[in-house]
Amino acid sequence: QQQVKQSPQSLIVQKGGISIINCAYENTAFDYFPWYQQFPGKGPALLIAIRPDVSEKKEGRFTISFNKSAKQFSLHIMDSQPGDSATYFCAAGVFGGSARQLTFGSGTQLTVLP
């Protein structure tokens, strides 16, 4: 019930295209959904996060869409750039809970071709 399933495992997009990464969760107690971005040789870094009181959150070219009834959320990268090439992890956790754990998805390796 703690699992977060992420797809696709890898994604290749042309420059200027839209990248879409999907995640699904089972635990209905999850109410905090961040996305982390990891460049080669670096640790993951927080990119954007959403709580289920909104269905969408946008920051620049990055948008999270959230579907509470389906227990799914996705990351959309508009106008994808070669500099966006990285591994993206979705995660889920409990907002304000006593446990400070996040359950991470398996990651998506995004390659944006020039």
Partner 1 sequence: DAGVIQSPRHEVTEMGQEVTLRCKPISGHDYLFWYRQTMMRGLELLIYFNNNVPIDDSGMPEDRFSAKMPNASFSTLKIQPSEPRDSAVYFCASSLFLAGGVGELFFGEGSRLTVL
Specify the residue, 70 or 99, whose C-beta has the smaller distance to partner 1: 99
**Min CB(64)–partner 1 separation in Å:** 15
Specify the residue, 17 or 103, whose C-beta has the smaller distance to partner 1: 103
**Min CB(16)–partner 1 separation in Å:** 29
Q: What is the DSSP string of the chain?
A: ---EEEE-SEEEEETT--EEEEEEE--TT--BEEEEEE-TTS--EEEEEE-TTSSEEEETTEEEEEETTTTEEEEEESS--GGG-EEEEEEEB-TT-S----EE---EEEEEE-
Specify the residue, 17 or 106, whose C-beta has the smaller distance to partner 1: 106
Chain residues binding partner 1 by CB under 8 A are: 32, 34, 36, 41-46, 89, 93-97, 99-102, 104-107
**Min CB(45)–partner 1 separation in Å:** 7
